[in-house]
Structure 1
């Protein structure tokens, strides 16, 4: 274990506030291996001496590192390293859309202990009720109500993550339609679910506000499609957010055409427009999906599906036939984290960090604008498909993995580009280094962002 002592800190150059630059310096020191998970940092006074700054500046810097999830303060004991920060010279993966590690080891331990104490009262010896037990559904409904929308516990089903919810929604609609409409590129998990069920995905043109209503109407008439899949907040991979006016237009078109909407709201923690959800606008038409993988942690496989009320019983029967139900332990851990308000802390950290990282990406890559400038977990660099594939290969050769176009493409020229998952690197410096590599590669006219 490292011991507290006076250290020398060289603050990075820049125009940012002094405490932010100090936080970056401490984070870099942790990444170098000087301090590992569970090690105690030097006192505020020792850090102040080593960096030649005021103690108040150190306090602000440590508070910022706590918000990033890098350290945690323990009253009377000091400040301890929390997150496993990767060294800056390691491979940087911008392919997986994962949040920062905002739930620390202590929170997991406390939640697991509480969950374990409750398992003795789980009915049926541990065999779960399909869709979750009543107490668990009440807890998940309360989380949804606190973070996104009012939900009746009797209407929702707890799933094994958002991917399970997507597959259940598409499976329930498979007898109603053989075609699902979406944008020219979509979440790879939704593509996989559709293929697994023998459903054909058809592209609908979009602009910066989402699906273009007139093109949606055209596609529905041409194909006989009776379902569409949407990610209205930070569309995956394009990154835009759909406003309420566009949502209402789409609902009206779907109602006229007897078409259902699968609303994947997994990125709702990043919403900026505060628009009503599709489920709130048309609960009889919408299969609403959310989960913890982007807003808290993917380590607990807990998702939620709010289908049209008339379809809940049929979907619960499918859950029982396929997996019987979700893990009572995972769900109880999630419930304990909700009770500890871990999701509130996580929301504040993720929103703040996403805002910073989007601005860094915009600056380093020289982007005139981005769809969600106040914070998003990923951004999209549009370019010709062949160029995007080449850029992905060249970036990988230089130690940076990005999401290539073939992982998300449905059809059409707008499907060409690469997705950059900005929240995946634990350390800001690693993200910026990866972005500079991409900026250097994109100076080649063959990779020009359009």
Structure 2
């Protein structure tokens, strides 16, 4: 124990002292002023030295222990914990055999930037936690800390006024979509609208709930407001599903002015509700959500599947203002709520300050893959953003989407055709979606892009035997 010089200049005013102390300690750990393995002073000694109560120090130590920055060793004291390791690439390969050499670019696969270790630590903490979490039914009161953690996690998205009572924890984003459809629609034979080219999960959720689906034309900025009114009047649809921050599959973004026009169109159409799916956003929000623009008419869903991990199946549904009881009832009647251990894992992971760093590291790593793809395929009609884990490619003359995906699969690369995102009666463009696979090396990903480029340069009618 080397003393407390690292506390010079600490400011404990203006907020809870234990939080200020925890932040100062965390910063000292991150900067190396407190190195790994350093033993911290006993609670009472440190409290006396900096002029606070022992309870303040104990709470700060506990917060950083939960976050994984400190570790308490019985009989020895509290120490700076080792950095959480990132799983090595060879471990990924052992855990995820690459399908006999096939490179899966069908759906985004996240790199491990520390989340594996964080999740393991959270699972251990739950296993050693209160017995009630392992033997009792879920409860609204017991889930409040997890919902509060979810509200804090979602605070980077302008959602308007949102408290923990507005949020329901779900089994991923798809489950959140289904819950919103059940909560929002009250008609005997409901109908919803989706973009002509849209996330197929909207249609699948509607199909299992016996909900009719109709398409709405879009342009480069998203849904066309006038078309919403026309389709709503013709079909009687009472809700529209859309992804304005990151449109799946094209990656396009709906600017604020268009969102405001869409809200106005929905109002004019008799109060057509909006379900906003924000599951693919991994960077900062670019505009206010529909819920912020129209609190009583818009619902919001998201998850951690594209930022931390899809394995835990943790998603969030945020009710339209005044509609939380409908959303909560849909969850409780359907599955009682998340398993208590899973809700506690969610609380730990979402509350951990390290999770934000991990999420940012995941985003930075994905940007490296995107840059490789742009360098290799940028000569073609490509839509991309470095904070979106996929690219949308309009194929050159000579290629049909279905033929291109089959040819890519024969070459050992799995991608998705535009037909997967089109309504049955719709016409699919000759385009494909290419996702980032962060569980293969950058070199292997670049090799896959090289193969795709060669295919694009040699459409079928130009190929020679």
For residues 169 and 253 of structure 1, the distance between their equivalents in structure 2, rounded to whole angstroms, comes to 21
TM-fit CA distance, 1:221: 2.3
2:115·2:358 contact (CA, 8 Å) conserved in 1?
no
Task: Select the structure of larger CA radius of gyration.
Answer: 2
For structure 1, the residue ranges without an aligned partner over 5 or more in a row are: 1-73
Measured against aligned partners, the alpha-carbon deviations of 1:233-255 in whole angstroms (never above 9, x if no partner) come to 22111111111111111111112
For residues 256 and 245 of structure 1, the distance between their equivalents in structure 2, rounded to whole angstroms, comes to 17
1:157·1:305 contact (CA, 8 Å) conserved in 2?
yes
The partner residue of 2:320 within 276, 298, 308 is 308
2:392 aligns to what?
380
1:361 maps to 2:373: yes
Residue aligned with 2:309, SS: coil
1:187·1:236 contact (CA, 8 Å) conserved in 2?
yes
1:154 maps to 2:165: yes
1:183 maps to 2:189: no
TM-fit CA distance, 1:207: 1.9
Going from structure 1 to structure 2, the CA distance change for 1:366 and 1:76 (only over 3 Å counts) comes to closer
1:409 maps to 2:422: yes
1:393 aligns to what?
406
Measured against aligned partners, the alpha-carbon deviations of 1:357-387 in whole angstroms (never above 9, x if no partner) come to 2232222113466544333111112359981
Going from structure 1 to structure 2, the CA distance change for 1:373 and 1:159 (only over 3 Å counts) comes to closer
TM-fit CA distance, 1:416: 4.2
1:433 maps to 2:444: no
The partner residue of 1:419 within 424, 433, 447 is 433
The partner residue of 2:154 within 122, 144, 152 is 144
For residues 325 and 314 of structure 1, the distance between their equivalents in structure 2, rounded to whole angstroms, comes to 14
1:131·1:326 contact (CA, 8 Å) conserved in 2?
no
Going from structure 1 to structure 2, the CA distance change for 1:359 and 1:80 (only over 3 Å counts) comes to closer
2:122·2:345 contact (CA, 8 Å) conserved in 1?
yes
1:94 maps to 2:105: yes
1:53 aligns to what?
none
For residues 171 and 86 of structure 2, the distance between their equivalents in structure 1, rounded to whole angstroms, comes to 33
Residue aligned with 2:296, SS: coil
Residue aligned with 1:268, SS: coil
Residue aligned with 1:381, SS: strand
2:138·2:338 contact (CA, 8 Å) conserved in 1?
yes
The partner residue of 1:284 within 278, 288, 296 is 296
For residues 198 and 461 of structure 2, the distance between their equivalents in structure 1, rounded to whole angstroms, comes to 22
Residue aligned with 1:261, SS: strand
For residues 233 and 196 of structure 1, the distance between their equivalents in structure 2, rounded to whole angstroms, comes to 26
TM-score (normalised: structure 2)? 0.72
2:87·2:112 contact (CA, 8 Å) conserved in 1?
no
1:247 aligns to what?
259
Residue aligned with 1:151, SS: coil
1:112 aligns to what?
123
For residues 331 and 226 of structure 2, the distance between their equivalents in structure 1, rounded to whole angstroms, comes to 36
Going from structure 1 to structure 2, the CA distance change for 1:397 and 1:130 (only over 3 Å counts) comes to farther
For residues 430 and 117 of structure 2, the distance between their equivalents in structure 1, rounded to whole angstroms, comes to 43
Equivalent positions of 1:9-28 (< 5 A) are none
1:130·1:316 contact (CA, 8 Å) conserved in 2?
no
1:82 maps to 2:88: yes
Measured against aligned partners, the alpha-carbon deviations of 1:164-194 in whole angstroms (never above 9, x if no partner) come to 1011112234434632212122222222111
Residue aligned with 1:96, SS: coil
1:162·1:289 contact (CA, 8 Å) conserved in 2?
yes
1:163 aligns to what?
174
Residue aligned with 1:171, SS: helix
The partner residue of 2:273 within 230, 236, 260 is 260
2:146·2:346 contact (CA, 8 Å) conserved in 1?
no
The alignment yields a C-alpha RMSD, in angstroms, of 3.0
1:134·1:153 contact (CA, 8 Å) conserved in 2?
yes
TM-score (normalised: structure 1)? 0.75
2:65 aligns to what?
none
For residues 139 and 191 of structure 2, the distance between their equivalents in structure 1, rounded to whole angstroms, comes to 32
For residues 125 and 321 of structure 1, the distance between their equivalents in structure 2, rounded to whole angstroms, comes to 20
Going from structure 1 to structure 2, the CA distance change for 1:407 and 1:132 (only over 3 Å counts) comes to farther
Going from structure 1 to structure 2, the CA distance change for 1:188 and 1:252 (only over 3 Å counts) comes to same
For structure 2, the residue ranges without an aligned partner over 5 or more in a row are: 1-79
Count of aligned residue pairs for this structure pair: 373
For residues 272 and 335 of structure 2, the distance between their equivalents in structure 1, rounded to whole angstroms, comes to 28
1:357·1:375 contact (CA, 8 Å) conserved in 2?
no
